Amino acid sequence: MISQDTAALIGAQINRELYSGYFYLGLSAQAEIANLKGAASWFMAKHSEEMAHAMKMYRYLLDQDAPLRLETIAAPPPESGSVLQMFEATLAHEREVTSAINDLVDHALSEKDHATGIFLHWFVTEQIEEEATVNDILGRLRLFGEKSEGLLMIDNELGQKAKQMAQSAAVDSAAGAG
């Protein structure tokens, strides 16, 4: 059975995941304004992904008959600057999320809450993928800089990745609907 402390910590993580969605929504708008449609689509796909993460935790708490308290979601930064700065902010943000997930796992293990530990394993794996993806994008942005040809190429790739993310989310959603 999940403890009230663990439920409260997962509730705080739900807030972080909702903030992540809001953070990516803000970055999507910034990219859209900069006419970077691919980056805007990628950030929008990240928004949807983060909302799904929050809902996964929400459902877990309800399935555990645990108390759930929703908190105010902070506003994301109004502007992040260049596309390189947007992805640097993204990596810093994902590292914060990874740290918070790791703290949750440590807490669950300290309470010998195996069900929550197993549940959180998916998020640990997800964070490895998240950071690796953003590191790859950053590497390409640093290689090409803000040169228009390189930026156009990366923007097109991000648009394609966004489509793949949306297709993957649709498959995951259909699998969970059964």
The range of the structural domain enclosing residue 73 comes to: 4-176
pLDDT band at 48 (very low <50, low <70, confident <90, very high): very high
Q: Using CA atoms in the order 79, 85, 88, 92, what is the torsion angle rounded to 10 degrees? A: -30
- Whole-angstrom distance, CA of residue 70 vs CA of residue 6: 15
Chain-centroid distance of CA 111 in Å reads 26
% the chain with pLDDT above 70: 94
pLDDT value for 178: 43
- Whole-angstrom distance, CA of residue 3 vs CA of residue 67: 10
Count how many domains the chain has.
1
Q: Give the residue-averaged pLDDT of 113-119.
A: 96
- Whole-angstrom distance, CA of residue 150 vs CA of residue 82: 14
Q: How many residues in the chain?
A: 178
Check whether 87 has a pLDDT greater than 70: yes
Chain-centroid distance of CA 50 in Å reads 4
pTM (2 d.p.):
0.91
Q: How far is CA 124 from CA 5, 47, 138, 165, in A?
A: 20, 18, 21, 19
Q: Which two tokens stand for residue 132?
A: 């690796």
Average pLDDT, the chain: 92
pLDDT value for 167: 82
pLDDT value for 80: 76
- Whole-angstrom distance, CA of residue 7 vs CA of residue 11: 6
What CATH number does residue 43 fall under? 1.20.1260.10
